[in-house]
Structure 1
């Protein structure tokens, strides 16, 4: 109840309050979970070009404009990650990341999503310039019931 009242105040009465609560910038590619949290940090800050840049295969996504428009009604977003179990395969390190996401739209409606992101980094020791950092290889999320803490899948698997 309190969160909805605060959201309504932010949206309609005191928009400056919402701006003051913008999350601090975070761009961390140290592991798969940190990268996924950085993705949602970019979305929360409405830095859609940064969010889009975290994906390795842009052809699997909508074009940038459509990607950004998909978040136009998002007011707040929160992500919780589960246990990441890295696995090596053919010169790459895969880090499947179980996630649950809670978003609130401009109408004040909560949405919950759960699923897996698979992050991948080619072995840094064998790369040549330009260096390719850890990126999101794929994502499979579905709308689900909340709450956020119980929506995180127990485990994700790397691609076979």
Structure 2
């Protein structure tokens, strides 16, 4: 009996049936290979309601807020879509910065939609000069504001690096 219950629980976890229905529809994506991939991973985590993972993409030195407020900010959110624009990588003082233009559409419980546009600045300290613990590509800062219009038309053409 114990083996059957363990098998059922393992199958449920592996198939995602312990997750809410909307989270089950999203494949797990955790990609820090470039700025745009990191931002897509952030919103993948939010859609899957994996808020600790989403929060971990931000710099430990400059988090967007405290963790509890971060999670509460998504309490009404049922879906988030993101599109990213052209990313340019710039070097400065041993770091690589990648400003990522984004447009984001969030849908709340009840169907209310919001569109945001702006820029995320992603950063990695040159991997060749880091010592443990290694700090991967992360979100250094974000500036988004609510805008009118469809998602596809909200995307900024460019973003600028802090350097």
TM-score for the superposition, normalised by structure 2: 0.84
1:20–1:43 Cα change, 3 Å: closer
SS in 2 for 1:119: strand
Matched, 1:150 2:161: no
Q: 1: distance between equivalents of 2:67 and 2:117? A: 23
Matched, 1:95 2:110: no
Report the alpha carbon displacement of residue 145 of structure 1 after superposing the two structures with TM.
1.3
Report the alpha carbon displacement of residue 18 of structure 1 after superposing the two structures with TM.
3.9
Deviations 1:119-156 (A, max 9, x none): 00000000011111000000000000131111110000
Report the alpha carbon displacement of residue 33 of structure 1 after superposing the two structures with TM.
0.3
- What corresponds to 1:33 in structure 2? 36
- Select the structure of larger CA radius of gyration: 2
SS in 1 for 2:65: coil
Report the alpha carbon displacement of residue 159 of structure 1 after superposing the two structures with TM.
0.5
Structure 1, unaligned runs of 5 or more:
1-15
Asked whether the 8 Å contact 1:22–1:44 carries over to 2, the reply is no
Report the alpha carbon displacement of residue 96 of structure 1 after superposing the two structures with TM.
0.2
For residue 114 of structure 1, the aligned residue among 117, 131, 138 is: 117
Report the alpha carbon displacement of residue 118 of structure 1 after superposing the two structures with TM.
0.1
Report the alpha carbon displacement of residue 58 of structure 1 after superposing the two structures with TM.
5.2
Q: CA RMSD in A?
A: 1.7
Q: 2: distance between equivalents of 1:59 and 1:157? A: 18
For residue 125 of structure 1, the aligned residue among 122, 128, 150 is: 128
For residue 51 of structure 2, the aligned residue among 48, 56, 59 is: 48
Structure 2, unaligned runs of 5 or more:
1-18
Moved more, 50-59 or 150-159: 50-59
Matched, 1:138 2:141: yes
Report the alpha carbon displacement of residue 106 of structure 1 after superposing the two structures with TM.
0.3
Aligned residues: 145
TM-score for the superposition, normalised by structure 1: 0.86
* Runs of 4+ residues over 3 Å off in structure 1: 16-21, 57-60
- What corresponds to 2:64 in structure 1? 61
